Chain A
Amino acid sequence: MQLNHAQRELTVKVVYYGPGLSGKTTNLQMIHARTGSEGRGKLLTVETHDDRTLFFDLLPVFFHTKGGYTVKVKLFTVPGQVIHNATRRVVLQNADAVAFIADSRRSAGQENNQYWSNLQDNMRENGLNAAQVPIVIQFNKRDLPDTKTDAELEETRARGKEPVIGAVAIRGEGVLETLFAVLQLAYRKMDEQAGLSRNIGLGEAEFLKLIFARMDTAGTRVAEWLASGGGPR
């Protein structure tokens, strides 16, 4: 988080982390497609010829608060291939929250674990306290054969404190829900650190509404939340 009172600007960094081909870039593409061009920048992607992320993807989302602050949420992905660990660490620096995109297939279990532990290592190397950076786990590719059952997802959820969300990112399912969850946790952490509601008059509901009201949330649980007036969820 970078909070610049002089420029009245808050910058939030969310990093999509996870094994190669788990759908990190797809998540960003879906968010990009569902967000009006007034409220976001261009989606910057640097890919190799075979659609693998080479450095990172970046999607900036921004809005202005009632209190006159500009809030920029920068969504990054890391390259998933093993060899790009140094780039992963650079992109992960100073992340306010992490969305860990896991592949739901049973065969991917080991790789998910490896990247989970790689995430912890890189956080430590970056001087981030893994216990203090909120993480949301997205189990992507729920539509594929060999996918874990809902009961198995429940087991994963029960094993840790991180929220677990099922998704089929390629169809946009679970993408905004994941973003909602990770931004909500990011907000709570930043509020704890910098007193956002007290110091810049930005409450959790306003923060989330200003982001999601500009998005096409139709058919997602975020739409239900917005329709219900944006209360605590």
Chain B
Amino acid sequence: MSDHLDSGGRELAPETPRLDQRPLSVLERRLTLADMLDVDSFSELVKSFAELYKLGIQVFDEKGNRLAWIKVGNGDFCGYVFSFPEGQRCCTQTVARVKGGPLATTQNARAPQAPPGTKLHGMIAVPCFTGLRYLVLPILWEGDVLGRVVFGPFTPEDLGELPTSLTDLTPGIDLAQAQAYLAKIRRAPESTIIKVLLHFSQLLETLVAAGQKTFLTSQVHIEATLESNRDLEAQNRRLEQMNLQLKDMDRLKSSFLATVSHELRTPLTSIIGYSEMLSEGLVGTLNQEQTEYVRTIMDKGDTLLKLISSILDVTQIEAGKVRLTFEPVSVGDLVSTAVSSVKPQAQKKGLTIDLKVPARAVEVRADREKLRQVMVNLLSNAVKFTPKGGWVQVLVTEVRFQPELDADGWRFVVQDSGVGIPADQLDKIFQSFYQVDNSSTREFGGAGLGLAIVKSYVEGHGGQVRVQSELGQGSRFEVVLPVQPPPPRAVIAPPLSEPAPAPVDRF
């Protein structure tokens, strides 16, 4: 079998997906202003700044998207100029230049008039045809231009009369009205506005630095969490594959045992059959010693046959091939048969078997053969593990409500005065092939299958089996069974390796 195929020949889940196929990390992406600034609180800040300095401020990212826009004072004046057709055209042109034009002293822009030695960080001045003025500063971050800040329009301190560039284009303009509107716009020397803009840019840089740190760390934190998840998922996949392989091996084991048991049983039947014929004198009379030998062969053959049958039962349970057929069963009769089948061994060891059945017959539905086997297995264990002169008690209760089943049911109890089971092994004795004493010199024989079969069959009837025991004092096995077993499931699950039920989606 290929490593990549399961027993059904299906392709197993592929290995972890390649990690280099994940999306580009935030550490390798070019960040935008919007990534690093909390736009809402930034707008608030720009607003208070604009109101403090009585200056319009606009902030754009590198693609020309406006992140903040606060108008202060120029609304009436600009609106008035905009009402003239030529005014509208020139205004639109100026706004486009300021917002999207090159951050260089070209296309009507010039270097700002700053005191010598001032570091201007790429600032430009853009005059408006109205005589007003804008200052534009690139937002530089790690060598990239992330956007621009636009201050204005403001009225240059030296502006007197409205320039002809305005009056020529707006015939019939009411100069008094225009001057009145103009008075609402901040009038200041360009050098003052330059200072304010440089101050604003320092503030912005601090905000961007803090924002970058927050953004990068939170994103990297998410990426790292996803990365850990991927690790865990990969580990889960590996475990699932191992689990599948283990289950495969388990199935193989069961199927091997089933085959071998079957192959053993056939010749064994012949051995027993021929021994029987010999002992019955069909081929001539045997002397006493010969008869005794042949009977020993038959006895041991029977023991072996029972063992092989148990193995077959367990492998069938594990292979999920056991079906129960329920029919009306009289419990009293069944218990008597079971007790009588262990009586010879009990007598040999001088054990007393005490059987208590209720006066009123207990009539239930069950799989007669499987139920008999449950009883026989528990009884023969009791007999096997109880030393000479001990006792075994068998109790069948009447039908009544059984809380643990939440239904009407009855109990079958086998108690003995035997060797008992150590407390730390109580939960293991129902596993296949489990032996409390696993040493090669152990006192009690058997394959360790009886209780595994009991548990499977009892649960197949919708019942439960429990054990109490004290070392050296004896054991008590109690089986609770419903009167009316649930409709048989297609298969009885093996007592071992029951997978935890998958969680059910709640929403």
Contact = CB atoms under 8 A, between A and B. Distances in A.
Given A44-B212, A127-B18, A90 B141 contact: no
Given A56-B220, A86-B225, A90-B220, A62 B25 contact: no
A30 B141 CA distance: 21
A90 B224 contact: yes
B171 interface: no
Contacts of B216: 44, 55, 58
A76 interface: yes
B142 A62 contact: yes
Nearest to B230: A86
Q: Which of B143, B209, B224, B231 has the most CB of A within 10 A?
A: B143
Interface string A63-90: 1000000101010100000001011011
B88 to A, nearest CB: 36
Interface residues on A, range: 20 to 34
B143 A70 contact: yes
A85 B378 CA distance: 56
A126 interface: yes
B28 A72 contact: no
Contacts of B141: 41
Contacts of B25: 90-91, 93-94
A194 to B, nearest CB: 16
A56 B223 CA distance: 13
Contacts of A87: 220-221, 224, 227
A172 B213 CA distance: 26
B19 interface: yes
B213 A90 contact: no
A126 B20 contact: yes
A72 B224 contact: no
B103 to A, nearest CB: 15
Nearest to A62: B143
Contact of B228 (A86, A94, A128): A86
9 contacts: A13-B28, A55-B220, A70-B143, A76-B27, A84-B224, A86-B231, A87-B221, A90-B223, A90-B227
Interface of A: 2, 11, 13, 41-42, 44, 46, 54-56, 58, 60, 62-63, 70, 72, 74, 76, 84, 86-87, 89-91, 93-94, 125-128
What are the nearest 3 A-B pairs in CB distance? A127-B20, A62-B143, A41-B142
